[in-house]
Structure 1
Amino acid sequence: MHAIPNTIAPPPLAEVSNNKLFKDIFYEGTADEYNQAIEQARVAVTDFLQQTSQPFSGIRPATMKAAVGAIDLEEPLKDYQSLISEVDDLYIRHATAFHLPQYIAHLNCPVVIPALAADVIISAINSSQDTYDQSAGGTFIERRLIEWTCQEIGYGMDADGIFTAGGSQSNLMGLLLARDHFAARTYGYSIKYDGLPPQANRFRIFVSEQAHFSNQKSASLMGLGEQAIVKVAVDHRFRLDTDALKKAVEAELQQGNIPIAIVATAGTTDFGNIDPLQEISAIATHYGLWMHVDAAYGCGLLLSSRHRHLLDGISLADSVTVDYHKSFFQPISSSAFLVKEAASLNIIKHHADYLNPEEQDYEELPAQINKSITQSTRRFDALKLWCTLRLTGKRKLGLYTDMMIDTAAATAALLQQDPDFELLSGSDLGVLVFRFNPTGVVKELSALNLSIKQSLFFDGTYILAGTKVNGQFYLKFTILNPLTTLSHIREILSAIKMKGNSLL
């Protein structure tokens, strides 16, 4: 054997002896360094809370791009104070402040402090949730929270699930299981091993016109193409119309296509409304279709004693998406995919000898990777929800949910009473689509409302969302902050009017 030449010079002994070489690595010799770094970060976050009075700085993309591009990544900074100062200049002072009531745009909630404490622990200890030997207690904390959520949904003892990176990943898992189980049940065909069957180009998945765009992306990723998604008409409150659904299924059958699944939405992104879950389940059962419920937004209703009934029928679904980082006040990311029958997850299991060998007893030595499709190394995000439930508790989270729904209902009443605004629909949750429409004054309403949104954003004063309905642009409020009061709403509506009138 030939000796391998040592081409890497060893570090100077002086640096090794005084630990300067390893001062950036988190280990027992750098506790003081860690405390210094965390303290600098804590001060920066506290300053962000105390000094931020509007949701955005108003900085333009070109200015932001130039500032980031000017940084020399080859030259490290000298200390943590310099580092955090740079991060403050480039990020913190321009970050969108989701916790302020003047932010009322997208599905971004303020976060609870117990979850932030958990995030510090998660990042430092850095467990991976794929196998027990990398997570130990983390494995069973995650499993307990999955079990708890399944119980809240109304699933039985055979249910299971996994934490995911977000609602889109969970929706992909739902459609993947729907596709593979249909092929196995109908044709005795294993897509996992053999690829798509010849009939796959005729598979059809039914969603409402208001369903999340991730369904199209999922169909594409699964090799079915976006053509597999059949959009079904909605009713006057923008919920999936069950009569239209029956007609759509029959129409596809008559064309020789093959229905495999229905996706119901519990909390649409644009209107916050819940599809009729019980009726949809009956149709899915009649035609032998997999039913997936995208409750990424509406899962917050599980916390509410007053409004939980809006999810009646969710327990009938084969699979469910929940986003804790939307409606449980968790930091990103914290989501889950749940199934009524744990055995349905076996179809995505793959054994690797170095990680989860086939001969291992998984009752004795569990491995969460057996339930995950795209994440081997996976963060212990479940700890955030655990700390939240253990300290904040379900009742208080449910109270926050009720407060937001009440504020949304009161806001809808304000919009309906004001002749300068046009409200499209009420909301089961907290999303209101409307536009500034001073009677008889403006013809180009879409252009005016888009200008209002953009102008307020770059003023930095208020951040609203927008969407198109029937080709027309509308403004959108997403009330996902229990700190938002009707007083704040009146202030924002007044600002919209002032801006709109100034732009006329």
Structure 2
Amino acid sequence: MIPAVDGSAESALDPVVPQEADPRTALSGGVAGAAALEPVLRVVLDALAAGAAERGGPLPAGRPAQLAAGVARALSQPGGDDALHRLTTLLAYGSADPADPFCAAHLHCPPLAVAVAADLAVSALNPSQDSWDQAPAATSLETLLLEELARLVGYPAEAAGVLTSGGTESNLMGLTLARDRVMGEATGQRIETGGIPRNAPRPRIFASAVAHFSVQRAAALLGLGEDAVVPVPVDDGLRMDAGALARALDEAAGRGELPVAVVATAGTTDTGAIDPLPACAALAREHGAWLHVDAAYGGGALLSDRLAPLVAGIELADSVSLDWHKLGWQPAAAGVFLVRRAETYASLARRAAYLNPADDERAGYPSLLGLSLRTTRRADAFKIAVTLRTLGRSGLGRLVDACHDLALAGAEAVRAHPRLELHADPVLTTFLFRYMPADPERADRVNAGLRRRLLREGRAVVGRTELPGDGPGRVRLKLTLLNPHTTPEQVERLIHTVAEEGAAEEELP
């Protein structure tokens, strides 16, 4: 109890609660906030269960237009006290449920219940990370969590970072800092203020041919143009070819171009391939380029004693992207961006008098504003911190290993099936395969069609991608296994279901 100004025991901060508050306009904060949340949470939990039971599988059966029409009808109904239950039921019914063993298409994890509960606390309190006075405890918590995650990566004490919306934002930040630092040193100009000088050498970013599309998007947003990204050939395992990278860097330098950054991927979206990180680091250093490691997926390997050696060399990167809403079982968003040296953040530093005045900072009130591309920002660090304190690295590592085991078992089931063809053994928790019809010329059409058939029938959510190259025969199906409670038997049943649908699709003219 904070004493009143006159020294009495009564708090000057005691809440004033309306005598007859309208429950529909009740707030989630303050002393009365928890009581206001309790009845509506019961409604939501009941609706979630009802919607999932009505769905009865990994996603609703039917075509997209049918579901869209149902959503439109629900929104056109009159409002009222039942809107929360009615629309939550609809959302649950109409969702692809990543907790279902037959929902295995994307890097879309089923979040841990404890992480969702922690995220509820953040939503209820609604702190914003752009100034200390909006998020006193959360500001300190994010700073300490990032120090912990930097140690997990292997970074030194002078590392820095921020929570992001995911890999796309983190990759943009890494390439922003690369542009400002490398081009700034090459031209003697402050790129973040004056822009790219007209007489500057042509900037180049080097990434594997199967790197995430956000690398090109970042280059476009940064004014470098998508053509600034040089796609580096990959080896048979779809890893960046270090020899090809060396040649591409030498050729660019020979043309008078400026190697700004090398983007190495630790865990590609389709196959989980991990580029040769030590070799990428050495080549980037040799050419004065920034090394950014996109470990949005593969960063989860850091949690596992078994898989951590796969990402050896990640600590050599100038910046790293991690996503705990992939192999971390957090509700989105839970992206992390880290730099090895805090001084390299200089070009992002910003000051706004209403958020982080200099005299406040001198007085000991810290601000995270200059670490992010965003202003208003949720306290997403909280759910990660709660999860780590609940399970620890070892507990999360066991979940990673369980999903890796599922992928290995699934690959074996594909290999054993006479009508299925495995692309390659899993690196992390995903693998590619395809159904092989009697006529190989129809393979692409049959595989694309069987996936849509599974969606239409509400039986399974299976991924689809294409291998690098040109021409037919590149379409592959993909399983991304992120539910550690799925069993090998369930994965095998999913694979046999895919084969059954392939046979049915093959019968079509």
TM-score (norm 2): 0.91
How many Å apart are 1:426 and its aligned residue?
Answer: 2.0
Contact between 1:129 and 1:380, CA under 8 Å: does it hold in 2? yes
How many Å apart are 1:200 and its aligned residue?
Answer: 5.4
In the other structure, the counterpart of 2:60 is 57
Q: For the residues of structure 2 that align with 1:405 and 1:21, how far apart are their CA atoms? A: 47
How many Å apart are 1:425 and its aligned residue?
Answer: 1.9
Q: For the residues of structure 2 that align with 1:300 and 1:21, how far apart are their CA atoms? A: 42
How many Å apart are 1:31 and its aligned residue?
Answer: 5.4
In the other structure, the counterpart of 1:110 is 110
In the other structure, the counterpart of 1:212 is 212
In the other structure, the counterpart of 2:499 is 497
Q: Deviations over 1:337-359 (max 9, x none)?
A: 00000111121011111111234
The 10-residue stretch of structure 1 (466-475 or 61-70) with the greater mean CA deviation from structure 2: 61-70
Q: For the residues of structure 2 that align with 1:31 and 1:182, how far apart are their CA atoms? A: 50
In the other structure, the counterpart of 1:198 is 198
Pair 1:150-2:150 in alignment: yes
- Change in 2 beyond 3 A, CA 1:308/1:446: same
- Change in 2 beyond 3 A, CA 1:204/1:492: same
Contact between 2:112 and 2:330, CA under 8 Å: does it hold in 1? yes
SS at match of 1:240: coil
The 10-residue stretch of structure 1 (478-487 or 149-158) with the greater mean CA deviation from structure 2: 478-487
Contact between 2:52 and 2:92, CA under 8 Å: does it hold in 1? no
Contact between 2:44 and 2:88, CA under 8 Å: does it hold in 1? no
Pick from 61, 72, 76: which aligns with 1:69? 72
Q: For the residues of structure 2 that align with 1:503 and 1:395, how far apart are their CA atoms? A: 44
Q: For the residues of structure 2 that align with 1:19 and 1:407, how far apart are their CA atoms? A: 52
Equivalenced residues, count: 484
Pick from 486, 489, 496: which aligns with 1:487? 489
TM-score (norm 1): 0.91
Matches within 5 A, 1:13-32: 18-20=20-22, 23-26=25-28, 32=35
Q: Deviations over 1:469-502 (max 9, x none)?
A: 1342111111122122221122112112211111
Q: For the residues of structure 2 that align with 1:377 and 1:362, how far apart are their CA atoms? A: 23
CA RMSD of aligned residues (A): 2.0
Pair 1:83-2:91 in alignment: no
In the other structure, the counterpart of 1:415 is 414
Contact between 1:23 and 1:33, CA under 8 Å: does it hold in 2? no
In the other structure, the counterpart of 2:443 is 445
How many Å apart are 1:306 and its aligned residue?
Answer: 1.4
Q: For the residues of structure 1 that align with 2:364 and 2:33, how far apart are their CA atoms? A: 36
SS at match of 1:361: helix
Q: Deviations over 1:315-343 (max 9, x none)?
A: 00000000010111100111110000011
Q: Deviations over 1:398-434 (max 9, x none)?
A: 0111111122123223323333222222221022111
Q: For the residues of structure 1 that align with 2:221 and 2:283, how far apart are their CA atoms? A: 26
Query: Which residue identity is paired with 1:43?
Result: D
In the other structure, the counterpart of 1:334 is 334
Q: Specify every segment of 5 or more residues in structure 2 that has no aligned partner in the other structure, as ranges.
A: 1-17
Contact between 1:352 and 1:358, CA under 8 Å: does it hold in 2? no
Pick from 453, 456, 462: which aligns with 1:455? 453
SS at match of 2:96: coil
Query: Which residue identity is paired with 2:391?
Result: T
Q: Deviations over 1:49-96 (max 9, x none)?
A: 6665410112322223223334567x86221x343123313x211111
How many Å apart are 1:17 and its aligned residue?
Answer: 7.2
Matches within 5 A, 1:142-291: 142-199=142-199, 202-291=202-291
- Change in 2 beyond 3 A, CA 1:153/1:502: same
- Change in 2 beyond 3 A, CA 1:226/1:361: same
In the other structure, the counterpart of 1:377 is 376
Query: Which residue identity is paired with 1:455?
Result: R
The 10-residue stretch of structure 1 (36-45 or 272-281) with the greater mean CA deviation from structure 2: 36-45
Q: Specify every segment of 5 or more residues in structure 1 that has no aligned partner in the other structure, as ranges.
A: 1-15
SS at match of 2:25: coil
In the other structure, the counterpart of 1:309 is 309
**Sequence identity (%):** 36
Query: Which residue identity is paired with 1:83?
Result: L
Q: For the residues of structure 2 that align with 1:170 and 1:33, how far apart are their CA atoms? A: 37
Q: For the residues of structure 1 that align with 2:498 and 2:299, how far apart are their CA atoms? A: 31
Contact between 2:52 and 2:93, CA under 8 Å: does it hold in 1? no
SS at match of 1:325: coil
In the other structure, the counterpart of 1:404 is 403
The 10-residue stretch of structure 1 (380-389 or 466-475) with the greater mean CA deviation from structure 2: 466-475
